[in-house]
Amino acid sequence: SPLMSVVRHTVVTLPTPVNISTWWNFGSLLGVCLAIQIFSGLVLSLHFTAHTDLSFYVVIQSFGDVYYNWWFRALHANGASFFFIGLYLHIARGMYYGSYVFKEVWSVGVVILLLVMASAFLGYVLPWGQMSFWGATVITSLFSALPVIGSDVVIWLWGGFSVDNATLTRFFGLHFLLPFTVAGLAGLHLFFLHDQGSSNPLGVSSDFNKVVFHHYYVLKDLVGACFFVGPLLALVYFNPWLLGDPENFIEGNPLVTPHHIQPEWYFLFAYAILRAVPNKLGGVVALGVAVLILLYMPFSPRTSIKGLSFYPWGKVMFFSLIGVFILLTWAGAKPVEEPYVVVSQVLSFLYFSYFLLIGPLTRIQDK
């Protein structure tokens, strides 16, 4: 049948470079994460009420009254963290090995990243804890920095004049729908990937040196999934709230502001860049560019060899960027005071400098 033919060409007879490494496993691992998130989210949605007076208590009550609801919530919450770990490593691999030269694949991937970030933010608001409520208030208020239409956009997002029941209802609806959109785009991502072929660590054409996907890489992906899902289940069973914020176990209260409002750890790098700019509109622009700058990568100066494997100074810059990303995550969790503001500004400058300098630097080495 046509359907089985598509499956056969996707996971059985697909020609795959013989020399790709474990770093290429993260594409399939992200598919596993997406399936886990959709399944656990569907189960949780059966016992959730999108109302400001009820949602917090429904979530708490479900722990004891609904069989294994605590497990699904812990799996969903920690699965989001593992999803972003896989996303960031997948993007880092693409940047290091030059996968961004496949413009269609890379562009769809960046759109998927944006939608996953939006879905994670919307989902974080649903339990209606203190950090959920104030996080929604702070992030949506950023749109007020837009010239002329800013205030109207914020009221439209809220569905009123403050973050309230209308906001929670529409956030729940969007959070439910976005993962299915991500799944559709993931299919498009795979279509372009299979049309153009995978890259490889050497950055050279591998058309003459390929093997079929099954069983060589099916088994490798299964082993990778075990090593990835194992720590996730260990976290769910032994310390399920390790990555959560204690403030979110308090019901959202618009009259009491937390001492330090911060998003989940996977948004902290962008949050640090936002706070590094003293101007509100400038901070919002920097926040958006911090992610959208990935769309510039396919149009950066081309090198003789794809990737940074044979560019020593390019490797130094890349691993420096990894360090900058980790330090930005650390700075985003700190209060808005000295010396953290200055540190965030320096790190933000280094973050954007990488994308502007890596192309010319490798071109110089080519010459």
Report the alpha-carbon distance of residue 36 to residue 48 in Å, rounded.
Answer: 18
Task: From the candidates 62, 132, 198, 199, give the one annotated as an active-site residue.
Answer: 198
**Annotation says 198 is catalytic:** yes
The pLDDT of residue 284 is: 93
How far apart are the C-alpha atoms of 4 and 294, rounded to whole Å? 35
In sequence order, the 6+-apart residues with CB closer than 8 A to the CB of 226 are: none
Quick one: angle between helices 69-96 and 55-65, nearest 10? 110
Per residue in 267-283, pLDDT tens?
Answer: 999 999 999 999 889 99
pLDDT at 12: 84
Are the beta carbons of 136 and 125 closer than 8 angstroms? yes
Cα(326)–Cα(97) distance, integer angstroms: 20
Where is the binding site for a ubiquinone, in residues?
Answer: 194
**3-state secondary structure string, the chain?**
CHHHHHHHHHHCCCEEECCCCHHHHHHHHHHHHHHHHHHHHHHHHCCCCCCCCCHHHHHHHHHHHCCCHHHHHHHHHHHHHHHHHHHHHHHHHHHHCCHHHCHHHHHHHHHHHHHHHHHHHHHHHCCCEHHHHHHHHHHHHHHHHCCCCHHHHHHHHHCCCCCCHHHHHHHHHHHHHHHHHHHHHHHHHHHHHHHHCCCCCCCCCCCCCEEECCCHHHHHHHHHHHHHHHHHHHHHHHCCCCCCCHHHHCECCCCCCCCCCCCCHHHHHHHHHHHHCCCHHHHHHHHHHHHHHHHHHHHCCCCCCCCCCCCHHHHHHHHHHHHHHHHHHHHHCCCCCCCHHHHHHHHHHHHHHHHHHHHHHHHHHHC
Among residues 47, 51, 103, 194, which one is catalytic? Answer: 194
CA distance 296 to 357: 12
Which residues make Cβ contacts (< 8 Å) with residue 291, sequence separation at least 6?
110, 113, 114, 117, 270
- The pLDDT confidence band at residue 4, using thresholds 50, 70 and 90, is confident
Worst-scoring range by mean pLDDT, 1-5, 242-246, 264-268, 346-350? 1-5
Could you identify the residue written with the tokens 């950055």? 203
CATH 1.20.810.10, domain 11-261, yes or no: yes
The mean pLDDT of the chain is 92
Report which residue type is found at 302. Answer: R
Binding-site residue ranges: 76, 90, 175, 189, 194
Q: Which residue has the higher pLDDT, 6 or 183?
A: 183
Please name the residue that has the structure tokens 């279509």.
Answer: 191
Residue 153 has a pLDDT of 93
Burial class (CB in 10 A: 0-12, 13-18, 19+), 124: buried
Total-model pTM: 0.94
- The type of residue at 79 is G
What pLDDT was estimated at residue 301? Answer: 81
- What pLDDT is stored for residue 347 in this prediction? 96
Give the residue-averaged pLDDT of 149-153. Answer: 91
Active site residue 220: yes
Catalytic residue among 40, 132, 247, 264: 264
Dihedral (C-alpha) 72, 109, 91, 347: value to the nearest 10 degrees? Answer: -100
Q: Which amino acid, 330?
A: W
Q: Which residues are annotated as a binding site for heme b?
A: 76, 90, 175, 189
Catalytic pick from 210, 220, 280, 334? Answer: 220
Our answer to whether residue 194 is catalytic in this structure is yes
Q: How do residues 253-263 score in pLDDT, each as one tens digit?
A: 999 988 888 89
Q: Tens digit of pLDDT for each residue in 157-194?
A: 999 999 999 999 999 999 999 999 999 999 999 999 98
pLDDT in tens, 27-73: 999 999 999 999 999 999 999 999 999 999 999 888 888 899 999 99
Mean pLDDT of 137-144: 92
Cis peptide leading into residue 335 (ω within 30°): no
| pLDDT for the residue numbered 195 | 84
